[in-house]
Structure 1
Amino acid sequence: MGSSPQARAEMRRQIHGFLSVRRARLTPRQAGLPAGTGHRRVTGLRREEVAALAGISVQYYIRLERGDATGVSETVLGSVSQALQLTAAEHEHLVELARTGDGTRPCRPALAGTGLRAPVRRILDAMTGIPAVVVDGRLDLVGANALGRALYEPMFAGGCAGANLARFLFGDPAARTFWRDWETVADDTVSRLRAEAGRNPCDHRLAGLARELAATSADFRDRWARHDVRVTASGVRRIHHPVVGELELPFETTPLAADPGQTLLMVTAEPGSPSEDALTMLAGWTATARTS
């Protein structure tokens, strides 16, 4: 069963936004084209220049950029990606959009309200030495172990409607204190939501969250309009925790294959570092609070 007409219409809008933004960002010099003469109305590439670089007709590229991906082959999508110098993640996003947009790829059913399975809960609870949480594609916090809940305590206590990473990040002033690298976290978060929206346009809860945040946060709205797509699977997060202070925590993420859309996020501290001491202090504080 293919995607719904509504989903295909949304994908056409996303294809248009994604390709037009990528084309506008790439200059002739970056694309290896001669500078030419005369005034250019656009700083980025013209549609005919992208078509020439991709080896397709101008009319064919215009149709694709307008969102009509009907019958577009993998070869053409690859050529367009190469012409626009897309990353691997961006190319995959374009393919996802095109295949859902032309109706050949069905939507993944939206898993609204899906909770944490009992085996995953037991695994989380057994991870006593490191903070660990599970988020879904919408970045709702589906579950957390005791140390994970303690680490992200401001997210639970911020008065937001539910524990959602994106809503906390863009809707709670405390987030800018909590995330010392707020700008980087904000970029990564919106890029992740963009990628998820491309994978599953039928997730109306995700679409609703994007509309909500775009209406209330200029920071989110600006980032959403960039159509950036990437998923940062590992790295370092710099946090100011209200109880234990400054932390620098390497993190790793892994998708839960049996639970589509859910991702396990784990953070650690370098052995012997002040952050390790702070995590140990936080674990002690958590144990005392639970006992009390």
Structure 2
Amino acid sequence: MASEQQERSRGTELGRFLRARRSEVSPEEAGIKVGPGLRRTPGLRREELATLAGVSIDYYARLERGRESHPSPAVLDALARALRLGETEHRHLHDLGLSAARRPSPNQSVPSRTVDPGTDLLLERLRPFPSRVLSRTLDLLASNPGGLRTLAGIERWPVEQRNIARYVFLHPMARELFPDWEVMTRGCVARLRALAGTDPDAPDLAELVDEMLLKSTDFKRLWESYDVNAFAQGSKTLQHPEVGRLTLRYQSMLIEGTPGHRLVTYYALPDTPDHDAIVLLDQADHDRGEPSAGQHPG
């Protein structure tokens, strides 16, 4: 019985994504002429999407309800075209299709939180650029001084509580720190949503999401919107209480040999005010007599 419930849950995850994306596509965008009268359904109706994708209405309804768990790649491609999905969303739809068809593992384990000594050394060598190692669920596993201090106030939280999603939604300083707070929150939720598509039964993900749904209405709103577009590079502006306003470029990359671990590094060109600011943040721990860089936070 438990296995059947897990399989239905995986199929329902696919249905949630389809419903969310269907609601975002207007009939006009899809080339459908709308007659007079009020439409109660935001976006496309089920029958409209089914027709656009070339599948029966009954088959599509079963997909949304989690009763059909073996969609073919061709069907998923057709749905992606009808929904006008971007590359990331298209790939996620295929991940959901594979996940729905795959039998759940009876022994779900939480990935290791251990950061190897080589990565710690890399964090040290990246100074003064703020750098941190995150788990697949955005837990802060390790950082250099700037990587910790750019998240103003997080150092006062217990180590086990330090999580980027938890910080941006629940920490009182987050909205002031991030002028683009809405963009930051969408990126966090998108990463967690992407994980839910490939590993929906992950216990570490379920625990965090349950907590955030309970504590943050903003998280709940974004979680239900089902956006999976996250960014691996770009820029971020901070209004930091110690060094003022600064804009940093960043790179995010997976760490080989440690599944789910990601290295995020922020940087600025030398001889710029932004570079001066990160040097000050890097030196702050030394000035206060705190542990040097490369050690795990806390």
Normalised TM-score (structure 1):
0.91
1:173-252 equivalent positions in 2, closer than 5 A = 173-252=172-251
Per the alignment, residue 84 of structure 1 pairs with 83
Letter in 2 for 1:142: L
Indicate the SS of the match to 2:23.
helix
**How big is the shift at 1:5?**
4.0
Are the counterparts in 1 of residues 149 and 155 from structure 2 also a CA contact under 8 Å? no
2:295 is aligned to none
Q: CA offsets, 1:119-139, max 9 Å, x none?
A: 211211222231110101111
SS in 1 for 2:153: helix
CA positional deviation for 1:113: 4.8
Within a 5 Å distance, the mapping from 1:156-167 to structure 2 comes to 156-158=155-157, 162-167=161-166
Is 1:111 matched up with 2:110? yes
Aligned residue number for residue 136 of structure 2: 137
Task: Report sequence identity in percent.
Answer: 33
SS of the aligned residue for 2:252 comes to strand
Q: Which amino acid letter does the alignment assign opposite residue 277 of structure 2?
A: A
2:63 counterpart residue number: 64
For residues 85 and 26 of structure 2, what CA distance do their matches in structure 1 show?
14
The structure with higher relative contact order (CA 8 Å, sep 6+) is 2
The match for 1:257 is 256
Report what 2:268 is aligned to.
Answer: 269
Q: Deviations over 1:240-273 (max 9, x none)?
A: 2232222111111001132111110000013332
Deviation at 1:33, TM superposition (A): 1.2
Instruction: Give 3-state SS (helix, strand or coil) of 2:55's partner.
Output: coil
Post-superposition Cα deviations, 1:188-241, rounded to whole Å, max 9, x if no partner, equal 111111111112123112111111111111111111110111121011111122
Q: Which amino acid aligns with 2:46?
A: R
Unaligned ranges ≥5, structure 1? none
Deviation at residue 4 of structure 1 after TM alignment = 4.9
Structure 1 window deviating more from structure 2 (149-158 vs 238-247): it is 149-158
Name the structure 2 match of 1:55.
54
- CA separation in 2, counterparts of 1:109 and 1:265? 27
Unaligned runs of 5+ in 2: 292-298
Match of 1:149 in 2: 148
Whether 1:280 aligns to 2:279 is: yes
Secondary structure (helix, strand or coil) at the match of 2:81 reads helix
Work out whether residues 132 and 148 of structure 1, in 8 Å CA contact, stay in contact via their aligned partners in 2.
yes
Residue deviations 1:159-216 (CA, integer Å, cap 9, x gap): 6852111111111111112222211101111111111111212311211111111111
Aligned mates of 1:132, 1:7 — CA distance in 2: 37
Task: Give the whole-Å Cα distance in 2 for the aligned partners of 1:185 and 1:110.
Answer: 29
Deviates more, 1:180-189 or 1:273-282: 273-282
CA distance in 2, matches of 1:153, 1:226: 28
- 2:111 equivalent to 1:124: no
| 2:230 aligned partner, one-letter code | V
Look up the SS of the partner of 1:25 in the other structure. Answer: coil
**CA–CA separation in structure 1 for the residues paired with 2:6 and 2:252:** 29
Q: Shift of residue 103 of structure 1?
A: 2.1
The alpha-carbon deviation at position 286 of structure 1 amounts to: 3.0
Q: Report the residue type matching 1:192 in the other structure.
A: R
Per the alignment, in what secondary structure is the counterpart of residue 95 of structure 2?
helix
User: How many correspondences in the alignment?
Assistant: 290
Q: CA RMSD in A?
A: 2.3
Deviations 1:32-90 (A, max 9, x none): 11123444332311111111111111111111111234331101000011111111111
